[in-house]
Structure 1
Amino acid sequence: MSSLDQDQHLQPSCRDKTTVSSDSSEGCKLAKQPLQGLKLASHAVLEEAQQKGRLKCLKCGGSRMFFCYTCCSLVGVSVQEIPLIKLPVKIDIIKHPNETDGKSTAIHAKILAPSDVTIYTYPCIPDYKTDKVVLVFPGPGAISVQSMLQCLRDRSNSRSPDSSDEPFIKRLKTEEVQGATHTAENPESRTPDGTESLESRVYPLQRVVFIDSTWNQTNKISTDERLQDLLQVELKMRKTCFWRHQKGKPDTYLATIEAIYYFLRDFHDHYLDHEYSGEYDNLLFFYSFLHSVINKAKASAGKL
């Protein structure tokens, strides 16, 4: 299977405009910079799977490579061969019903952090507590990650005027986070679904919501009354390196997996008490591999 074929069949969703320039080698270099220096598990297993080509999903019979985006299961790769990440907060993804499963990066998060990521298909939206949940989505009223917990605390206090003055951020101790990110080298340390997550020790944030849709379709979900009262957070300083150009959208509009990753990076930097050392880099395990494969294919075709 060619790299361009893989682009067509495994292209992640939707969300944004690539930083790659069609006529500039400098643009190509800039596009690759965001994925440089990541602490990733070896891509050797994906390279081997790519050589084997597409295989049938054992659950639905669909022709897939690496994973089945319908069944959220691996194909041609074992669970012991990929990284598994433990996240400090729970992640909910609201997927547009017309979003093509095979083009969505949301599945990356679900496969790589299965105990902390849940995908819902709109109009299915949980009943959220508005002072404990945030929506990551750009807009005129959106705030920064740095301001997020204080705003949540203010909301909570406005509902409970007699609340205590104890610190609203319970910083995780370094030893609590060490070992929370597991890779293929240590599959025995994986945390099964249902165990207590680190988010239960970070107050007041309990859950973070992302919308998975093309940007032209996001309005229907983002304006849903069930999300209207959620605090809106925007990742204003991050830029996409997605490879499918979407005209008219700024390069701060991120792919779903990029948005999740960069949110967690900012969250870690502002609210956890130890320096970031790659704990969530493997969320980009599939994305970085596809980015490399597709850009190499474009370079070979003279499109970079």
Structure 2
Amino acid sequence: MSSLDQDQRLHPGCRNKTTVSSDSSDAHELAKQPLQGLKLASHAVLEEAQHRGRLKCSKCGGSRMFFCYTCCALVGVSLQEIPSLKLPVKIDIIKHPNETDGKSTAIHAKILAPGDVTIYTYPCIPEYEKDKVVLVFPGPGAVSVQHMMQRLHDRSSSRSHDSSDEPCVKRRKSEEVQGPTENLESGSPDEAKSSESRVYPLQKVVFIDSTWNQTNKISTDERLQDLLQVELQMRKTCFWRRQKGKPDTYLATIEAIYYFLKDFHENCLAQEYSGEYDNLLFFYSYLHTVINKAKTSAGKC
């Protein structure tokens, strides 16, 4: 278990409280080093890039460090030098147009898991199948990740029942499913089928990338209204850009994606978590260390 998770569970029956360790010294140490214990790729490449300094993005010419948040491209490091993740479910990030690109952590997810993460700028929102997509956002009707799959199955079953009275269109023989085919990358047909059954009918997970004062405009958009809302267990953010007047349980986008996938791995895939998605915090953890060292040197923390 990552130290990010320790002492950050939701207090039973209360959304706005978190349990606190009885050992104040442990809690103090956790506060000082909240990102310890993660299974991360070496940060040596980032240390070297930082030593070289900011470089111009080859696409837009902007002065950047590590990556260009405008072009979603690496700067000063290569793809072979950073970790690449394959996620168990596709992720869409809806970014508020007023969200400052350089302050957003959504770009981390896109660079580290490019095949599974798509970023849209509001008001651009794709059409979603309501019983196959969830929105990670707190609200009165939000459910936990643990109960998410059952609710989706209930929705899917209800939809199937509603359409059961409609006459079936007989398909031509060439259109019929020919049976399971073997996936060479994911094991035997039975293993692939078992894996798919654990995540069905979930196809995509949507996150909102904006300040908390801006989220209402996106979360209330009619195109997202019918999506099942999922609320993460209370966690404490490590973000260095804390939003004034907001509690420390308001997470940065990359933190929310990481915690969702960790909970999904344990509760939906029913597998023990062994750091499979820790590298989503590859850039985040390094920047956290660098920024907090700078603050300490400046006597600000």
Aligned equivalent of 1:265: 262
**Match of residue 293, structure 1, among 279, 284, 290:** 290
CA shift, 1:302, in A, is 1.3
Task: State the partner residue of 1:303.
Answer: 300
2:271 is aligned with 1:274: yes
Residues 200, 300 of structure 1: CA spacing in aligned structure 2 closer, same or farther, 3 A cutoff?
farther
Partner Cα separation in structure 2 for residue 86 and residue 235 of structure 1 = 21
Q: Distance in 2 between matches of 1:271 and 1:224?
A: 28
CA change 1:131–1:33 in 2 (3 A) is farther
Report what 2:56 is aligned to. Answer: 56
Q: Which runs of 4+ in 1 moved over 2 A?
A: 25-34, 198-202
Structure 1 pair 301–27 and aligned structure 2 pair: CA distance change class (3 A) = farther
- Are 1:223 and 2:220 matched, yes or no? yes
Over aligned residues, Cα RMSD in angstroms? 2.3
TM-aligned CA deviation for residue 29 of structure 1: 3.4
Contact 1:136 1:232 in 2 (8 A): yes
User: Using the alignment, how far apart are the partners of 2:298 and 2:65 within structure 1?
Assistant: 23
Mapped partners of 1:302, 1:59: distance in 2: 38
Deviation at 1:251, TM superposition (A): 1.9
- Larger deviation, residues 242-251 vs 48-57: 242-251
Task: Indicate the residue corresponding to 1:186 in structure 2.
Answer: none
Is structure 2 residue 83 aligned with structure 1 residue 83?
yes
Distance 2:152 2:226 in 1: 12
SS in 1 for 2:200: coil
Deviations 1:209-257, CA, capped at 9 Å, x for gaps: 0000011111110110100100001113222111122233222211000
Q: Which residue of 2 aligns with 1:14?
A: none
- Matched position secondary structure for 1:148: helix
What is the number of equivalent residue pairs in this alignment?
Answer: 251
C-alpha contact 1:97 1:121 (8 A) present in aligned 2 = yes
1:231/1:162 Cα in 2 relative to 1: closer, same or farther (>3 Å)?
A: closer
Q: Would you say 1:31 and 2:31 are equivalent positions?
A: yes
Greater shift in the superposed pair: 155-164 or 58-67 = 155-164
Contact 2:198–2:268 (Cα < 8 Å) also in 1:
no
| Residues 1:249 and 1:255: Cα distance change in structure 2 (over 3 Å) | same
Q: Deviations over 1:249-301 (max 9, x none)?
A: 22221100000000000000102243111110000000000000111111111
Say which SS state the counterpart of residue 155 (structure 1) adopts. Answer: helix
Where does 1:1-304 land on structure 2 (aligned, <5 Å)?
29-161=29-161, 176=186, 202-304=199-301
Q: Distance in 1 between matches of 2:229 and 2:282?
A: 27
Which SS does the other structure have where 2:215 is aligned?
Answer: helix
Stretches of structure 2 lacking an aligned partner (at least 5 in a row): 1-24, 165-184, 188-194
Residue pair 1:94, 1:121 contacting (<8 A) in 2 also: yes
> Which secondary structure does the structure 2 equivalent of 1:268 belong to?
helix
| Matched AA of 1:114 | P
Q: Is the 8 A contact 1:257 1:284 kept in 2?
A: yes
Question: Does the C-alpha gap of structure 1 residues 283 and 289 become closer, same or farther in structure 2, counting only changes over 3 Å?
Answer: same
- Amino acid aligned to 2:202: L
Q: Is the 8 A contact 1:134 1:231 kept in 2?
A: yes
Give distance in 2, aligned partners of 1:200 and 1:213: 33
Per-residue deviation, residues 150-188 of structure 1 (Å, max 9, x unmatched): 001111111112899xxxxxxxxxx949xxxxxxxxxxx
Q: Which amino acid aligns with 2:231?
A: E
The answer as to whether partners of 1:141 and 1:232 remain within 8 angstroms in 2 is yes
Q: Residue 227 of structure 1 aligns to a residue in which SS?
A: coil
Q: Identify which of structures 1 and 2 has the higher relative contact order when contacts are C-alpha pairs closer than 8 Å and 6+ apart.
A: 1
Give SS of 1:60's match: coil
CA distance in 1, matches of 2:294, 2:117: 31
After TM superposition, the score normalised by the length of structure 2 is 0.78
